[in-house]
Structure formats: C-alpha cells, structure tokens
Structure 1
Amino acid sequence: MALADTDHMERSAPGLSEATAGDFVTLLKPRVMSLVVFTAFVGLISAPATPNPLIAVIAVLAIAVGAGASGALNMWYDADIDAVMGRTASRPVPAGRVAPGEALAFGLVLSAFAVVTLGLMANWLAAALLAFTIVFYAVVYTMWLKRSTEQNIVIGGAAGALPPVIGWAAATGTVSLDSLLMFLIIFLWTPPHFWALALFKAEEYGRAGVPMMPNVSGARATRRQIFVYTVLTAVSGLLPVATGLAGPAYGVVALLLGAGFVHRAWRVLAMADSDRAMKPAKALFAYSLLYLFALFAALMADAVAARLIPGPWV
C-alpha cells in the first residue's frame, strides 16, 4: 500500500523516548555525512585561497553538522517509508527508539547551529549555501520529490552535490567555475549510484510507495539511464584537467576510474530482464562509492601537490 498520503503531523506529537547517544548519532547518517564532509574538504583545499587552519576546521565541522541535521530531518519525515523497508526499518524513529518530535527538534537545532557557526567563522555566502542545501534536501527532496516523481534522485541530487561548492565558498567567499565543476561531477554521479541500488531494492521501494525509476519506468529503462549518466559522469571527471583545476596525473586517475565505472554500467545495461541476482547492479553500486571517493582523493592530492611542488601539477 502506498504511504505517500500519511499524515506527517503525527510524528511531531509530544513524548520522550529512552534513546541512547548512539541513536542520535545514527540520525546523523554518519556514512553519508562522511562522504559529504570529504567532498566539502576537497572543495576547500582545492580553492586558490586557504583560510586560517582553525577556521578551515570549524568550517568543515559546521558543514558536517549541517549534513547530519539534514539526515535527522529526513529520518523524521520518512519514518513511514523507513518502517516498511528492510534496510531502514531498524532506524531509530521507525524502531521507536527516538520519538518523532525529538528527531525533528534535533535536526532543526543542529541546522541553525551549523549555519550560524559557518556564517560567523567563515562567511555568510558559505552559510547561505549550507542553509539552502539543508532546506533543499529536507523539504524539496524529502517532503516533495521523493514521493512524487521518478526523477526524485536526479533533481534532489543537487543537495548532495553542493558540499564542495560550500567548502570552496568557505575558503574564498566566492563560487567559481571550478567549484561548480565539482558540483557537476557529483550531480551526474548521483543517478547511477542510487538507481543501481533501486534496481535490487525495487520491491521494497514499491512496497513503500516511493516512485523510483525501476518501479515507474521499468528495469530496462533504468539500466539505459544508468549507462547514459555513467558515461556523462566519467567525461565530467576529466574536465578538471581542461579547466586547470587539476593536472595530468589526476587526469590519468580519472580516466582509469571512469573506464571502470563505464564498464560496470555496461554490464548492468547488458543484464537479462530475468536476472534476479542483480550482481552487476550490486557491483556498480559498490564501485560508484569507490569511484567518487577515489576521484575526489585524486583532486585533493593534486591540489596539495600543486602547493608543495609547483610546476608540473598545474
């Protein structure tokens, strides 16, 4: 039964739980947060201006808290969906360990703290971008797109793609073509990453009433879209060399990583409709995480090397 019309006001009813500190850490979605923090740090370290180290650390921590706040707000609102999906049913809110009102208050307080801290310690452009990211993820994606369109993850992916732009803005007070290029890489990467997951979790998404692409347009159309977005991601991963953001060493890494990504996407495209094991989709999902982490690690290494050994890196 679809759950999109559930009355979410019930979730903010008063009442305290007996939650542990670990439950509140889980609300922050630490695995998602770690990738957000890493890409934000790469954006900051790749910027031409390097802020005071203490300010840089505080800025990254503020971005981390903002990302965690988004996760808490998402878990508050999505408790009905999480309750009927195997991979999320044990989350603190649907499992009853954290009261809905607690999760909502936790997310709102952390959001305000993160935005104000980033504004005071770095600059208000970075703070405004962080505030926009939180609102876009919690309201536009979670409350609207996720339950209304198969393009939810495409449009909603903008929230997850903004951290390197925020990191760049925290360092420079500006938004540049290079920071938007990092945004583009993550934005294009998001659909194949999540649609690979949706392929082997289609039954759960269907049971929860979430209109993911495999449930709306079918597995075959999803596999085609995955391949197209993967090729675009691999190409965008090479663009930092063209703009001068990174040098040839990064280009070699990006080329090899992109080739591996496209190869795995091709295997997904070639899957038989009768393939229930979904091994190619699972392999693509796992590789996509490695791809993004390794690509941004290469960007970071290139930026550090350019500062320490000027010349061939830039």
Structure 2
Amino acid sequence: MIGTDVVRRNENFLQVVRSYYQLTKPRIIPLLLITTAASMWIASEGEVDSFRLFITLLGGTLAAASAQVMNCIYDRDIDYEMLRTRARPIPSGRVQSRHALIFALVLAVISFSLFLVYINLLSGLLAMSGIAFYMLVYTHFLKRNTPQNIVIGGAAGSIPPLVGWAAVTGDLSWAPWILFAIIFLWTPPHFWALALMIKDDYAQVNVPMMPVIEGEESTVRQIWWYTLLVIPCTFLLVYPVGASGWLYGVMALFLGAIFIKKTWLLKQNPLDKDMAKSLFKFSILYLMLLCTAMVVDSLPFTHQLFTAMVNFVG
C-alpha cells in the first residue's frame, strides 16, 4: 500500500498530542453526540440524569474516536495519494500505524468499560457495534467497492440515538428506531453534497462515490429523493409514536421546507459546487436544530407552557 508508514518524528510532546487528537477527526464527533443527547432527552421525558448524560456522551465520544482512528489506519494509502489529506498524521509519518491501532483499541476498551460499569450492557454493545459496522461494513466492504457505500454505511452514524435511548431505558422502542431512520435517510443528501464538492479527489484515488460513477445529475436526483423521504420520517415522532410534540413538529416543518428548497435548487443546477456546499452546510445545521427542537420539546416547562396556552385560549 502507498503511504503505509513514512518515518518522521514529531518535534515535541504537544505535537504528539495534537497528532493523536487529529486522528480522531474531532469535527465529526459533535454531530453524533447531539443525536445521542436528543435521544436521551426524549427517553427521559426532559429530565436527564446529568451523570448518566456525561458518561454516555463520554463513552460515545471515545467509541466514535476509536472508529475514526481505525478508519485513518485503513485509508492511509488513499490519504497519502490525495493532496488534501496527505498532511494527516499517518500518511505524513507523524504517527505510526501500529501506534494508532493501539490508541484506537484503548479508546474502544475505555468506552465499553464506561458503559458497562456506569450505564448498562446494551448501550455498550450498541456503541461497539457502531465501531464494527463502520470499519467492517462501510470502510472495508463498501467504501471502495460500490457507489451505494454511504447509503448502507450510513447505518453506522445512525447508531448513536440507539445508544442514548438504551442508556436511559435499558431497551429499545419505536422512537429510537425512528431517530435511527431519520439519520439514515439524512446521510445520503448530507454526504453526497460533500462528494459533489470533492468529486475529483475521490476520482483520483478510485473511490467509487456516487458523483464519480454516475455523475452529478444522477447524484442530485438521488439527493432529492432521499430528502423527500427524510422529511416525512421526522414527523413520525409526533404521530403515530407521540414521542415529541407541537414545538418539535413546527420546527421540523420549517427546517424541512428549507431543506427541500435547497435540494430543489441544486436539482436545477447539479454542476454548481457552491449550491452543493450550501446544501452540505445546511444539512449539518438542519440536524443540529432538529435535535435541539427534540430536546426543548421534551422539557417539562415546554409541556406546562403549552397546557397554559391551551387553557388560556379555552
């Protein structure tokens, strides 16, 4: 493999810490934690135990970090070939693959131990299944072999809400699976918008992302259809499940309308990378605000306010 391990040393301790921190791809993790937290708030009906929340988010952070480090090890060859990623810790030689693997395993062990000791076995097993699915199914089998890689592989990023729900209740009901479905259907529009922006990079290293194999127009059509699927799915939390209420429903409608508009504009201009970038950025904001609405909607204060408003009008 190209760029397996380049011999180069960090200059000081802080640079070593920074290199290992970069291996975890920290910018990806907050979005996973937001979906975990939202699930916990809904499951606890707005009254989350702070210690349980802290341990669950810490364990989730370590599990996600472990998966990203393993991904960096596996993809070190294509990271070396792309100028955009050649400066990453492993292809640049600042971290050796064997050391990165030890780091990833330590993170996974600590994560599972935290869940097992302080939360419950189910949440720990779900967190570990996220790592396994991301590495074995997405990174190993799908990423380099099929343009549908992110569709199936998106299940890995959909697991955090299951972890959060299990951490509160010890089991899984319909609501966390709807949260799973929302993120699963949200992932293709989100990731393919990014893929449209960096299509040439994927083509350079022969990674069969959708825009590379089927072109921009086909990719944008599929982004459109997945957007039309995810928006109705968000309302299932309101009806028939009843896990969220009116405030979340209004926010889901508002955000969904903007999402559809941005996707429609991209559909009319599939070669416009600025529109793809706009959709990509909004997709992140969409999920963050949607989860925030879930949290606020679950709070007892919100329910009391709604009841007071109904009584006042009545």
Shared fold, TM over 0.5:
yes
Shift of residue 48, structure 1, vs aligned partner = 3.5
Residue 206 of structure 2 corresponds to residue 209 of structure 1: yes
Q: Give the AA of the match of 1:78.
A: D
- Distance apart, 1:86 and its partner CA: 4.0
Fraction of identical pairs, as percent: 39
Gaps of at least 5 residues in structure 1 are 1-5
> What is the aligned-residue RMSD (CA, Å)?
2.2
Tell me the alpha carbon deviations over residues 143-174 of structure 1, each in whole angstroms, 9 at most, x when there is no partner: 22111111110011001011011011011100
1:90 matched to which residue of 2?
A: 87
Distance 1:87-1:108 versus aligned 2 partners, 3 A rule? same
1:297 is aligned to: 292
TM-superposed deviation, 1:52: 4.2
Alignment partner, residue 193 of structure 1: 190
**Counterpart-to-counterpart distance in 1, 2:70 and 2:301:** 39
* CA drift at 1:282: 1.1
> Are positions 1:309 and 2:307 aligned together?
no
Q: Is the 8 A contact 1:84 1:204 kept in 2?
A: no
Helix, strand or coil for the counterpart of 1:209? coil
The number of equivalent residue pairs is 302
Contact 1:146–1:210 (CA<8 Å) still a contact in 2?
yes
Could you tell me which residue of structure 2 aligns to residue 280 of structure 1?
Answer: 275
User: Structure 1 residue 229 and structure 2 residue 201: aligned?
Assistant: no
Distance 1:51 1:263, change over 3 A: closer
Shift of 1:53: 2.7
Partner of 1:252: 250
- Please say which of residues 190-199 and 75-84 is displaced more in the overlay: 75-84
**Shift, 1:90, TM fit:** 2.2
* Distance of 2:180 and 2:244 partners within structure 1: 15
Match of 2:168 in 1: 171
1:29-178 pair list within 5 angstroms: 29-48=25-44, 52-178=49-175
In 1, distance between residues paired with 2:211 and 2:74?
A: 23
Cα deviation, 1:197-220, whole Å, max 9, x if unaligned, reads 111211110101111011111211
Question: What secondary structure does 1:148 align onto?
Answer: coil
Contact 2:2 2:81 in 1 (8 A): no
Contact 2:2 2:78 in 1 (8 A): no
- Any conservation in 2 of the 1:185–1:233 contact (CA below 8 Å)? yes
Q: Is the 8 A contact 2:126 2:163 kept in 1?
A: yes
**Partners of 1:17 and 1:33 in 2: how far apart?**
27
Deviates more, 1:86-95 or 1:99-108: 86-95
In 2: Cα distance, 1:114 partner to 1:159 partner: 16
Structure 1 residue 62, shift from structure 2 partner: 0.7
Structure 2 match to 1:263: 261
In the other structure, the counterpart of 1:238 is: 235
Distance 1:127 1:307, change over 3 A: farther
The offset of 1:20, in angstroms, is 1.7
Q: Aligned letter for 2:174?
A: L
Q: Is contact 1:16-1:99 (8 Å) kept?
A: no
* Residues 188 and 233, structure 1, Cα contact 8 Å, conserved in 2: yes
- In structure 2, what is the Cα distance between the partners aligned to 1:75 and 1:312? 51
Cα drift, residue 21 of structure 1? 0.8
Partner of 1:220: 217
Q: 1:198 aligns to what SS in structure 2?
A: helix
Q: Which amino acid aligns with 1:171?
A: V
Q: Which residue of 1 is the match for residue 312 of structure 2?
A: none
In structure 1, distance between residues paired with 2:8 and 2:120: 37
Give the superposition deviation at 1:17: 4.3
Cα shift readout 1:79-134 (whole Å, capped 9, x = no counterpart): 11222334423221112211111111111111111012111110001111011001
Equivalent position SS for 2:151: helix
Worse overlay, 48-57 or 171-180: 48-57
- TM-score (structure 2 length as normaliser): 0.90
Q: Output the CA distance in 1 between the equivalents of 2:215 and 2:266.
A: 14
CA distance in 1, matches of 2:77, 2:116: 34
